[in-house]
Amino acid sequence: MSAEQLENRVVRLEVRTENHAEDIKELRETTLDLKSTMHSIEKNLSQIKYLATGALIVIIAQTIGLDKAIKVLFGV
């Protein structure tokens, strides 16, 4: 293998390595964005859960009466 061929191979490897480094950087940025989005989704789902729980408690209280609802919910 001649020196010129070897140099060409090294140059190609360097370019490929630089491209891979850029790809990895983009993937890390995407990962951070996804992590932030997932946190936001979890927060929204938690709020929905508490809203639904509160609505259910209100419906139960209206249906069977407040004093009976408290007894059912807290086992009093």
Range of the domain at 14: 3-74
Domains in the chain, number: 1
Neighbours of 70 (CB within 10 A): 14
* First CA to last CA distance, the chain: 88
| Digit-coded pLDDT (tens) for 9-65 | 999 999 999 999 999 999 999 999 999 999 999 999 999 999 999 999 888 888 888
What is the per-residue pLDDT for 58?
87
Q: So what's the pLDDT on residue 51?
A: 97
Is the pLDDT at 69 greater than 80? The verdict is no
66 or 27, which is more confident: 27
Given a cut of 80, whether residue 67 has pLDDT beyond it is no
